[in-house]
Amino acid sequence: MSKDSFAQSAAYLKQAVPLMIKYQIPTTPANYTLWYSYVSASMPELNQAIDQAIKLQGTCSLTTCERLFHQYLAAQSDQQLETMKLNLAAMTSELGHTMQDALSDTGAFQAMLDRSFDRLSRIDDEGLSLEDTMGILRELVRESRDVRMSTMHFRSQLTSAEKEIKALKEALNETRKLANEDALTGLLNRRAFSLEMDSLIRSRHPFSLILTDIDRFKNFNDEYGHLLGDQVLRAFSKRLRECCKEGVTAYRLGGEEFALLLPGRSLALSRQVAESLRRTIEKMSILDRKSGRRIDHITSSFGVGEHDGTEAADPLVERVDRLLYKAKELGRNRVMPLPS
C-alpha cells in the first residue's frame, strides 16, 4: 500500500470511529467495514440507505447495520466463504489421496509379506543360504518401516483434519446461534427484536410497538395438522412483511407471536397500521392441500403502545402484551387500545 493510500485509509477510519461511537454501533469487523464504506462514499446507494435509517430511527440500529452489510458488502464475505469451501475440498481431497496411498502401501506390504513368508517356508527345501535369508529379513524390515511411516503420516493428517473440522463446526454453530432470521417465516427473530428495541431506546428516538398473534392458532394445528399451521404462519408473516415500509420491521417472537417496531410513529399512526393489518388478515384464504378445503376464518388480535421515552424494554413489552390480551378478552380480532 502506498503512503497516500495508507493516509487516506487512516483518514476514513478516523471519520468512521466517531460516527460508530455517536450511534452506539458495536465495533465488529462487519460494522467497521460498513462505516468505513460509508465515510469513503464508495457506494452511494449504501450511504442513502444509512442516511434514511438515521432519519427514521435517529440511529442505525444493530439489525439495520447487519442487513445493510449483507445487502451491499456481503459479496466479499461470500468470497471468503467460497475460499473456505475450496480449502475444505482441498483438505478432503488430500486426505483421500493420502488414504489411497496408505492403503496402496499396505496392500503392497501384504503382497511382499506373502512372498517373503512363502520363500522363508521353502528354506529347508531350497537350501537358502544365510545371506539370502538375511536379505529377505532386511526387505521385511525396510518395507515395515515404510508402511509405518505412511500410516503415521495418514494418522497425523487425520488428527489435523479432526481439529479443523471441530473448529469449523463450532464456528458454524456459533453463527447459527447468532443468526437473526427465523427459519420458517423469513422474518427477523426474537434476538433481533431485542437488539433493535435496545438500540431504539438508547437512541432516545420515538417509536411504537405492536404485538400480535393469530387467534385460536392451536385449533389449526389440532384440526388440520402442523403442516397447515406452518402454512398459516408463513402467510401471516407475508402480510406483516408487506407493511414493512419506511423503517417498520416485523419479527417472529416464537410460535404464533409476532411484533412490529415502528420508529418515529405515534400511537395513533401505529394503531392505524395495526387496524389495516387486522383487516388484511381476516381476508386471508389458505388452501389445505391435504383435504382440499379452503381455510378463510383466520383472524388476529393486536396490542399497540408508544414508548414513553423512559421505559426499559421489558416494561414496554409487558404493557403492550396486556393490551393484546385485553383484545383477546373482548372477543379477539381487534386492536387495543380503542381509538380515543
Q: DSSP assignment, residue 187?
A: S
End-to-end, the C-alpha distance of the chain in Å comes to 64
Contact 251, 189 (CB under 8 A): yes
C-alpha cell at 253: 417472537
Torsion of CA 194, 198, 199, 203, to 10 degrees: 160
Torsion of CA 209, 214, 218, 224, to 10 degrees: -150
328 phi and psi angles, rounded to 5 deg: -65, -45
Residue 287, beta-bridge partner list: 294
23-54 exposure pattern, b = at least 16 Cβ within 10 A, e = fewer? bebeeeebbbbbbbbbbbeebeebbebbeebb
Catalytic positions are: 256
Q: Say which amino acid occupies 34.
A: L
Q: Say which amino acid occupies 93.
A: S
Q: How far apart are CA 172 and CA 246, in angstroms?
A: 33
Q: How far apart are CA 103 and CA 237, in angstroms?
A: 55
CA nearest 256: which of 300, 290, 197? 300
What CA–CA distances, in Å, run from 53 to 209, 267, 324? 17, 20, 28
Q: How far apart are CA 316 and CA 311, in angstroms?
A: 6
Q: How far apart are CA 126 and CA 136, in angstroms?
A: 14
Largest CA distance in the chain: 116
